[in-house]
Every structure is written in C-alpha cells, then in structure tokens.
Amino acid sequence: MHTSLEIYGILAAGVIVITGFFAGKGIQRLKLPSIIGFMLVGVILGPSFLNLADESLQRSFSFITEIALAFVAVSIGLELSVGALKKQGIGIVAIILAESFGAFVLVTAVLYGITRDWAVALLFGAIAPASAPAGTVAVIKECRARGSLTKALYAVVGFDDGLGIVIFGFAAAVARMILEHANGTANGISPSAFAQPLIEIILSIVIGAIMALVFCILARRLRSNNDIFILGVGFVFALTGICSHFHCSLILSNMVFGMMITNTQPHTFTTRFGNEISRFMPLLFVLFFALAGAHLHLHALGRLGLLGLVYMVARSAGLILGSRLGATVGKVDEKIKKYIGLGILSQAGVAIGLSLIVKNEFAGLGPVVATAGDQIITRGDQIGTTVITTITATCIVFELIGPILTRHALSKAKEIQIDSTTSR
C-alpha cells in the first residue's frame, strides 16, 4: 500500500509537469525563456501562494534537483572538447579568472565600504562568483544556440563554479580567523582550512574522470542508442551519489565526466549520447525549475534592504566588467566581449548552499553581541543570518532576470538558430 504522502507526491509531480509545460509554452509567446514559466508555476504552487508544494514535498523531491544539476553538468562537459577550447585559446581562461575575481574583489570592496566589517565583506564577496549553470544551459538548449558565444558560455558557467568553491574556501578561512581573533580565541589559522577546497576540487576531478573511463570501456561494445543512454544514466546517478557521500562538487565531477567522453571517444559516439540526454532533459528542466520556484519565498524580497541591493549591483558589475576585461586581454571575438557578461548573471543553488555553510559553520563564532533569554547570540550567528537571508532574496531576482538576459545576449550575438517560440 502506498502512503498518502507517496500518493500526494506522485500527483504533485504530475500537476507540476502539466502546468509547467503549458506555462512554459505561454511564456514563450512573450519572447521569454520557458524556464520563467516553470518557475512561476513553482512560486504559485509553493509556500508563497497555494502551498501545495510545501516544504515536506520539496524535501521528498530534493533528489530531482541533484539529478537535474548532474545532467546539466554532463551536457556542459560534452560541449567542452579540447580542440574547441584551444581554438578559443587563452581568452576563455582569462574570462573565467577575470569575472570570478572581478565579482569577488568588487563585492568585497563595496560591502566593506558599507559595513566596515571584513568578515561580512569577504563572505559576500566569496559567494558572488557562484553561478547557476542550469538556467544558462536551459536557455541555450531551448534556443538551440550555436556559435562562439554559446561555446564560451558553456565553458565559463562550467568552470567558474569550481573556481568559486576555491575562492570561498580561502575567504571563509580568513573570515573565520577574523572572528576568532575578535573573540581572543585564535591560535593562528590551520593549513587544513586552505587545503580543504583544493582537496574537494581535485577529488571531484579524479572521481569524474575514473567514472568516465569505466563508462567508455563498457559502452564501446553497445550499438543501441537506448542501451548507451541507459548505461550513461546509471553512471550519472552513481557518480552523483558518490559525490554526495564524499562531499565533492557534483557539478564539477559530472562536467569532467562529460569532458572525458567528448575528448576520448569518436564524435559519433559523443553525438549519440548527447542527443539521447537532450531528449531527457526538458522533463528535468520542468521539474527542476518548478521546484526552484517553490523554494523562492517572495516575502524574502521584503528583507532585501540596502545590503542586498548593493550586493546585486556590485556582483553584476564585477561579472560584466571582469568578463569584458578578460575577453579584452584574451583577444576573443568581439561579440563574446560584448555579451558574455549578460549570460552569466544567474545565481541560485550553489550560492544558497554556500550561504548555508556560512550559517552552520560560523554559528557560535566571535564575540557575544546579544542575548535572548537563555540563548547567546554571537557575531558569527548574526553574520550567518544576514548572509543566508540576503543571498536567498537576491537569488530570487537573479534567477528571474538571469535567463532573460542570457537569451538577450544570444539574440544580440545572432546565435539563436530557431526562435524559441517555434521550438518543439
């Protein structure tokens, strides 16, 4: 017998897919990406309005988010052939470094100017480079975009999360040291605090590469596209589970998985596998972005405040100006230099995940600033609450405007092959 929660969950999944499908088609008529329609369905069904997709349902569907991000990462990896990256040369590396550090430095500097608190400024600055590759990839696939800007977007949104994790690891270690010194409990900073993000990145790459090698050995003997697809899905599921167990980056590991396939296997094999994944992903996009919308509590926008507004402006300026600087130094195509900054503004899951780390790991750190009954509130507690509240609110805005600006950039670059209103 199925429990009532299981029955409700199955029914809710059906409602989300059906309503999301029609909302996506409707929003396309307004020349907007269909994922905006998916998210609006989630917002309406979520706690902000009808509360049909409540928090218990969201938790039971949390695995869908990880699976969707995993397949997004694989699809990014399949587009990153070494040959294509060599053609773009040092320009892509320069863009990734410049936009990530541009956002980090500008947000840190501006927020320090407002707060006069290095710990707060560093943590917000460290979260700023994190992007939301799912939104960018969904828009690219919906528009069937092809061209140099499209390839650059795949590379940038794929690699900047990995670099962002490293930046966050170092910045969080320094912020922790600042709070501990303020409380008089610091004994210097542990080298392991700096080593941890590097270990996470290396382990993610190694696991993704090993899984790709095993998959390729087994898949070479297969002739049916369905067989290759089923085996590939199994490996992506397994890889995502391994990443969760070892606390690795599922985005980076699955991206490496895709890169290994496209750079070691015949083009026909890679194309067959990529085409099968592309047929599967639209369903994941409906569920993923509807659930993302359900997670958006619109009342959080009321807490945005000056700090959130400044963070959004500084992050956007850092990404756009940084990517333009990197493109200029790297001497890439003019259209990449002009438009890539608009395509990388989305921010969601990774940023919220990093803010949760701040909330949990900074709890109890620093001097006591207030008491509420028997509860002692430290500076670390205050910072954690400020970070997660602000990032949640700003992500709502970035997730709504990011896909729109990505489509605008692709349109201006004339890389949309088939208008999204006529796509299947």
Burial of 245: CB neighbours in 10 Å, binned 0-12, 13-18, 19+: exposed
Phi/psi for 356 (5° steps) reads -65, -35
What is the average per-residue pLDDT within 85-99?
Answer: 83
Q: What is the pLDDT of residue 215?
A: 95
| Amino acid (one-letter) located at 7 | I
Give the tens place of pLDDT for each residue, 205-217: 899 999 999 999 9
Residue 48 has pLDDT above 60, yes or no: yes
From residue 51, how far is each of 14, 40, 44, 48, 63 by CA, in Å? 16, 13, 8, 7, 20
| CA–CA dist 96, 159 (Å, integer) | 7
From residue 325, how far is each of 75, 95, 329, 365 by CA, in Å? 28, 7, 6, 38
Question: Regarding predicted confidence, which is higher, 10 or 261?
Answer: 261
Question: Regarding predicted confidence, which is higher, 400 or 129?
Answer: 129
Query: Which residues are 371's β-sheet partners?
Result: 376
Give the tens place of pLDDT for each residue, 11-28: 888 988 999 999 988 888
What is the average per-residue pLDDT within 308-319?
Answer: 93
- Are the beta carbons of 410 and 151 closer than 8 angstroms? no
Q: What is the pLDDT of residue 424?
A: 40
Residue 421 has pLDDT above 50, yes or no: no
Computed over every residue of the chain, the mean pLDDT equals 83
Split at pLDDT 50, 70, 90, the class of 365 is: confident
- Dihedral sign for Cα atoms in the order 25, 27, 32, 37: negative
Residue 394 has pLDDT above 50, yes or no: yes
Q: What is the pLDDT of residue 411?
A: 92
What is the average per-residue pLDDT within 294-322?
Answer: 83
Let me know how many helices (H) and strands (E) the chain has, helices first: 17, 2
Residue 321 has pLDDT above 90, yes or no: yes
* pTM, entire model: 0.72
Give the tens place of pLDDT for each residue, 136-184: 888 898 888 988 899 889 888 877 777 887 788 788 888 888 887 766 6
What is the average per-residue pLDDT within 68-77?
Answer: 84
Residue corresponding to tokens 């659930």: 291
What is the average per-residue pLDDT within 397-421?
Answer: 82
Question: Regarding predicted confidence, which is higher, 298 or 282?
Answer: 282
